[in-house]
């Protein structure tokens, strides 16, 4: 069971006798890597999410003021646009997004249809304050998805009731508020979580060692790989039950999955929005250039394989199952490398 790399790691554990010589990531400045990932990639993506959630809120305002099919289509497009950075940010589900309750507020699934219908059937005003106090399953991306796409994905502007528009306006406002607050948790001018990660082992109350922070990056990538392969894909695939498909109202699941893996890859490569900030790759490439090439290629393969599930994820689950299995396997390959080759390299004091 033990590989050579793992033996090396064990020997480097504190309190376990004589440490043996290991090749360490010390050749690169890991503090700089962490700081660049935090500021360049993570904060960058949260800023993008904030901006796009605000743009979606604006599009919903236009739809509510003038409920035409064109304005509905614009709101739907703005929802997809805002969802992309969110799904990418699922490549690093740690820190405030988890501890501050942002994930359930933005993206609880399944959507609570019965509660939403009860709310819509009532007569109490639906304000952003009311929505803020609702359970996650009645707000966020999937509640909005239900209102603007409809259960069958065939929503027309004429179908939108005044009550639905009132709900939608409050939902969009709440989404924008949550996205903004999440960004501010990371902003140096706000909660400054960039420094908790970037100053790991130096001046962080959260990560007492740089190793812990580097491991957090890998855990984030591993976590989304597991969720995509073993949850989001596996559950509808194994049961052939499309009610288990997450973004089925909008038929956006395949794009979600591609963005999930893209976000993880961004943490690794450090390439975001046309800039290279230096990701975890900067630590690995000096130790194992072959491993760096392998993982980059596996990310590319996984993202490509997810994109080849056609004509849609839902249809592929029913009619093109080999494309789904292939994509699932490709995501597993990334996870295997992260778990069995990348983590052991980092796991040293």
Partner 1 sequence: MIRARWWMAVAWAGATACEAPTGNTVPGPSADAFSGGVATVFDATGSAFGHPAPTLSSTSLAHHDAGDAAFEAAFVTAPAPVNPGLGPLFNSSSCAGCHTGDGRGRPPNPGEVAAGFLVRLSLPGITPQGGPVPVPGFGGQLQQRAIQGVSPEADLAISYVDSAGVFVDGTPYALRVPQLALLNPYAGLPGGLLTSPRAAPPVFGLGLLEAVPEQEILQLADETDQDGDGISGRPNYVYDMVSGQTMLGRFGLKANTPNLLQQAFVAYNEDIGVTTSFLPAENCEGQIPACATHPPELRDSVVQAVTFYLRTLAVPARRALDDSTARHGEALFAQLRCSACHQPTLHTGGVLGVPELSNQTIHPYTDLLLHDMGPGLADGRPDFLATGSEWRTPPLWGIGLTAAVNGHTTFLHDGRARSLIEAILWHDGEAHGAREAFRALSAADREALIAFLRSL
- Site of interaction with partner 1 (CB under 8 A): 1-3, 6-7, 9-10, 13-17, 94-96, 98-101, 104, 108-116, 118-119, 122, 133, 135-138, 205-209, 211-213, 215-216, 219, 222-223, 226, 230-231, 243-244, 335, 338-340, 343-344, 347
Sign (positive/negative) of CA torsion 182, 183, 187, 190? Answer: negative
Closer to partner 1 by Cβ: residue 28 or 212: 212
152: exposed, middle or buried (Cβ count in 10 Å: 0-12, 13-18, 19+) = exposed
Query: What is the distance between the alpha carbons of residues 328 and 231, in angstroms, rounded to a whole number?
Result: 10
Least Å distance, CB 303 to partner 1, is: 20
Least Å distance, CB 113 to partner 1, is: 6
Closer to partner 1 by Cβ: residue 61 or 344: 344
Least Å distance, CB 247 to partner 1, is: 14
Kindly give the residue spans of alpha helices, DSSP state H, lying in the chain. Answer: 4-11, 30-36, 44-65, 69-89, 96-99, 102-107, 113-121, 128-132, 141-149, 162-186, 193-198, 210-226, 234-239, 253-269, 281-287, 289-307, 313-319, 321-337, 343-346
Query: What is the distance between the alpha carbons of residues 281 and 286, in angstroms, rounded to a whole number?
Result: 9
Least Å distance, CB 110 to partner 1, is: 4
Closer to partner 1 by Cβ: residue 46 or 207: 207
Of 141, 128, 157, 163, the closest CA to residue 78 belongs to 141
Least Å distance, CB 14 to partner 1, is: 5
Least Å distance, CB 266 to partner 1, is: 19
Closer to partner 1 by Cβ: residue 152 or 243: 243
Closer to partner 1 by Cβ: residue 110 or 311: 110
Closer to partner 1 by Cβ: residue 101 or 188: 101
Q: Could you say which DSSP state residue 227 is in?
A: I
Closer to partner 1 by Cβ: residue 114 or 158: 114
Sign (positive/negative) of CA torsion 192, 195, 198, 200? Answer: negative
Phi, psi (rounded to 5 degrees) for 276 = -110, 110
Least Å distance, CB 156 to partner 1, is: 25
């Amino acid at each position: 069971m033990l590989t050579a790399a793992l033996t090396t790691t064990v020997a480097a554990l504190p309190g376990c006798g004589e440490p043996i010589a290991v090749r360490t990531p010390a050749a690169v400045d890991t503090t700089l890597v962490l700081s660049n990932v935090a500021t360049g990639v993570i904060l960058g993506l949260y800023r993008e999410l904030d901006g796009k959630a605000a743009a979606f809120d604006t599009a919903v305002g236009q739809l509510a003021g003038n409920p035409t099919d064109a304005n509905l289509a614009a709101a739907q497009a703005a929802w997809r646009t805002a969802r992309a950075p969110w799904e990418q940010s699922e490549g690093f589900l740690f820190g405030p997004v988890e501890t501050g309750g942002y994930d359930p507020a933005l993206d609880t699934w399944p959507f609570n249809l019965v509660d939403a219908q009860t709310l819509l059937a009532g007569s109490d005003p639906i304000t952003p304050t009311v929505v803020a106090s609702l359970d996650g399953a009645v707000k966020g991306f999937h509640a909005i998805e239900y209102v603007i796409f409809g259960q069958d994905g065939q929503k027309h502007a004429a179908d939108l009731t005044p009550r639905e528009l009132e709900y939608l306006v409050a939902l969009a406002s709440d989404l924008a508020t949550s996205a903004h607050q999440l960004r501010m948790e990371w902003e140096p001018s706000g909660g400054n979580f960039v420094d908790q990660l970037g100053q790991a082992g130096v001046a962080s109350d959260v990560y007492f060692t740089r190793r812990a922070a580097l491991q957090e990056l890998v855990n984030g990538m591993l976590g989304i790989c597991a969720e995509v392969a073993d949850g989001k894909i596996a559950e509808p695939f194994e049961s052939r039950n499309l009610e288990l498909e997450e973004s089925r109202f909008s038929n956006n699941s395949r794009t979600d999955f591609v963005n999930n893996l893209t976000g993880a890859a961004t943490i690794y490569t450090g390439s975001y929005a046309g800039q290279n900030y230096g990701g975890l790759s900067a630590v690995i490439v000096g130790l194992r250039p072959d491993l760096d090439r392998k993982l980059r290629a596996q990310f590319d393969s996984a993202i490509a394989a997810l994109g080849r599930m056609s004509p849609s994820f839902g249809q592929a689950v029913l009619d093109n199952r080999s494309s789904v299995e292939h994509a699932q396997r490709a995501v597993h390959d990334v996870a295997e490398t992260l778990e069995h080759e990348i983590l052991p390299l980092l796991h040293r004091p």
